[in-house]
Homo-oligomer: A and B are copies of this chain.
């Protein structure tokens, strides 16, 4: 039976603070991390290619994000012993599962651009009407 324990360390839920689940969630729930995962959904990509595909990401943040994702086993890094160095990145098995959810978010965003723009206009209009 599952006894109601008050120790929050035992609840593997993202809603609880100071848990491993939340810590992982914080890494994933990041714009650059999500965009990198989304980009790798198209297949293996080199560092320089990723830098192009994920527009707006700086050299530093891309490296940092990739390290984090690699450390958590979401992305696999492969170094080719050539000169100049050639490194490519790909999603791991679990990473590919996560990709589906990420793709869904990106798709939702694309499909609701109009809805959101409309909602914003209404919201802003209502605001300026109230403030007066």
Q: Which A residues lie at the B interface, using CB under 8 A?
A: 8-9, 11-18, 20-22, 24-26, 28-31, 34-35, 38-39, 42, 52-56, 70-73, 94, 97-98, 100-102, 104-106, 108-110, 112-113, 115-120, 123-124
Chain B residues with CB below 8 A from A31, complex form: 25-26, 29-30
Separation of A52 and B56 alpha carbons in the complex (Å): 35
Distance in angstroms between the alpha carbons of A20 and B117 in the assembled complex = 9
Q: How many copies of the polypeptide does the oligomer hold?
A: 2
Asked if B73 and A119 make an inter-chain contact with CB atoms under 8 angstroms apart, the answer reads: yes
- Tell me the minimal C-beta distance from A7 to chain B in angstroms: 9
- Give the interface centre of A28, A71, A109, A113 by most chain B CB atoms within 10 Å: A109
